[in-house]
Structure 1
Amino acid sequence: MTSASMPSWAGEHADDEIVPRDIRFDISGNAERHWFGGDPLRTAMVDGFSIFLPEGERFFIRSLKHYASKLGDPELIKEINGYAVQEAFHTREHEDYNRTIARLGYDVEEMERPIKYVLGNVSVPLIRLAVTCAIEHMTANFSTMTLRHQEIFADANPAYRRLWMWHALEELEHKAVALDVYKRAAAGMPAWKRYGLRVSAMNGTAFHFSRILLRNVRLYAQADGIRTGFRFWSRFAWLLLVRPGYTRLSLLAFLRYYKPGYDPRKVDDSDLIRKGRAWLANEYAAGDPAKETPAR
């Protein structure tokens, strides 16, 4: 790729820089019912994650923007703005993704209903921020696993694989922003209370995420005419715990959140970020059909 043809996001950037990438992956134009290696269950698990994202990302942006004018820290405000732009692009792409899921015959509206209900009932700004921190940590763990074990998506439809690799990269780039804002917003609280709220928000978030994901995987399978009995859930557990072992590969990283004083900036993901940037730039150089437009 020549420097003249290189998109703005593919150039040199600091490892901790938040780089908005306005890329369109056209999932609607590459729709495939079982895009993940022809496997309905693996597809249902990852599509189930996408179901959470548009509503979740709007929730995240509102949570951080609420505090942007109150912090008085230009550098942190700049990070919030970069975060918000990345998340806005994620929202756009996952709305297209979810419309595609619905067009393929799945009841996305019913799958989104409990997500909207749970997030809609979180009204206290600091609690919204603590929930955002929890979800961002969970998403960063998924992203670390995706970039470290790229072979997991080797047999996926290319358009879907590119979207998830792009999303994983940007989640790692902004992984610390929400917790940075939380530390500033809750600075006047005793340390034990600040820690208690952060951990309680994670406990509640993990519970609701797991409950809703299991429900939506069941709805997804039923739309495919698949019986969700013992054999189905046994294979689901196998995928989570054994091979590829999504939960097994990310559990230790998830548990770090429960350490007092946890700071994601102390976890060095710079190699993974560089690896993800190189992967995405190579895809673009190789003739990626995704449409890239300048980040605004």
Structure 2
Amino acid sequence: MAKSKPFDWSAPHDDEEIVPRDVRFGIGDNPQLDWFGGDPVKTAMVNSFSIFLPEGERFFIRSLKHYAARLDDPELAAEINGYAVQEAFHTREHEDYNRGLADLGHDVEAMEQPVATLLANVQVPLIRLAVTCAIEHLTANFSTVTLRHHHLFDGAHSAYRRLWMWHALEELEHKAVALDVYRQAAAGMPAWKRYGLRIGAMNTTAFHFLRVLLRNMRKMLREQGHDTGLRFWLRVFQLFFISPGYMRLSMGPFLRYYLPGFDPRNIDDTDLIRSGRAWLAAEFAADGPRAEPAE
């Protein structure tokens, strides 16, 4: 096994390059209860997002790998490989993150079960790919908000802040890969069917994502002894739509997905990718978690 060494955050990369960064944040070894500025509801919101990720990332990798050898496009095959490596690192770090949640007393297995069940029910490869496209768009929106408004994480514990910025950056780097694969995989279908499948998958995915997210938020807060009645719902409304307004900030980009012919490559995120890379390089300049180079 090669000796581990820190990831070189200062190394130059092309703006459109998919860069797998094998970084270990160690959150499972030192989990924090209300790590997001001491706010239990905001912390539960982001923690609930992490609950989706290990099962979700494995689902994404399977979805794209199914088509990798079937597409006569070496450039896209290379992008699928870079995507899969990034997602594998995300899986590892969020498994560690979720182990930390379990150590804090949360029933992580019970919260992950609905995610696993929903994804296991998607068996048809093209539908699985359409669901992957939908989830990738949702995560790209989260990533755009995170990188554009990174000050929102100023009050967060450093390990969590770095992990979510790292994840957001890599999601933007590979945001177009799943839809590129979908367009080629569904090329033989009439355009209206391709569009209908893509939008149907988004409608179903967005509904279940929000439903399970809110369910797991309430479960986490109840496990900490917090009330999840009217005050909880008012706080959720405030976070989603008023201040900072996570859904309000992401609604415009989200709705673009419903345009026929939507292509995330037509949205120029170059400045966000550059600023995200620079932000992480500055964060890790003095110190950082142990990292290993990708094979």
- On whether the aligned pair clears a TM of 0.5, the verdict is yes
1:178 equivalenced with 2:201 (yes/no): no
Equivalent residues in 2 for 1:225-240, closer than 5 Å: 225-240=225-240
Question: Counterpart amino acid of 1:295?
Answer: A
CA deviation after TM superposition for structure 1 residue 6, in Å: 7.7
Alpha-carbon displacement from aligned partner over 1:261-286 (angstroms, at most 9, x marks no partner)? 00000000000000000111111212
State the partner residue of 1:291.
Answer: 290
Give the secondary structure class of the aligned counterpart of 2:226. coil
Equivalent residues in 2 for 1:190-209, closer than 5 Å: 190-209=190-209
Alpha-carbon displacement from aligned partner over 1:7-51 (angstroms, at most 9, x marks no partner)? 345311111100000000000233111100111100000000000
Contact 1:24-1:291 at 8 Å conserved across structures: yes
State the partner residue of 1:58.
Answer: 58
Distance in 1 between residues matched to 2:43 and 2:287, nearest whole Å: 25
CA deviation after TM superposition for structure 1 residue 223, in Å: 0.3
Distance in 2 between residues matched to 1:151 and 1:280, nearest whole Å: 13
State the partner residue of 2:277.
Answer: 277
CA deviation after TM superposition for structure 1 residue 72, in Å: 1.2
Alpha-carbon displacement from aligned partner over 1:208-257 (angstroms, at most 9, x marks no partner)? 00110111011011001111111111111101000010001100000000
Contact 1:37-1:155 at 8 Å conserved across structures: yes
Distance in 1 between residues matched to 2:69 and 2:82, nearest whole Å: 15
Give the secondary structure class of the aligned counterpart of 2:291. strand
Contact 1:169-1:273 at 8 Å conserved across structures: yes
Question: Counterpart amino acid of 1:67?
Answer: Y
Equivalent residues in 2 for 1:1-296, closer than 5 Å: 7-8=7-8, 10-288=10-288, 290-296=289-295
CA deviation after TM superposition for structure 1 residue 108, in Å: 0.5
Give the secondary structure class of the aligned counterpart of 2:54. helix
The ranges of structure 1 where at least 4 consecutive aligned residues each deviate by more than 3 angstroms after the TM superposition are: 5-10
Alpha-carbon displacement from aligned partner over 1:179-216 (angstroms, at most 9, x marks no partner)? 00000000000001000000000000001001101110
Runs of at least 5 residues in structure 2 that lack an aligned partner in the other structure: none
114-123 or 27-36: bigger deviation: 27-36
Distance in 2 between residues matched to 1:283 and 1:145, nearest whole Å: 19
Q: Figure out how many residues of one structure are paired with residues of the other and give that number.
A: 291
Distance in 2 between residues matched to 1:109 and 1:172, nearest whole Å: 29
Alpha-carbon displacement from aligned partner over 1:66-103 (angstroms, at most 9, x marks no partner)? 00000011000000000000000000000000000011
Contact 2:30-2:100 at 8 Å conserved across structures: no
Runs of at least 5 residues in structure 1 that lack an aligned partner in the other structure: none
RMSD: 1.0
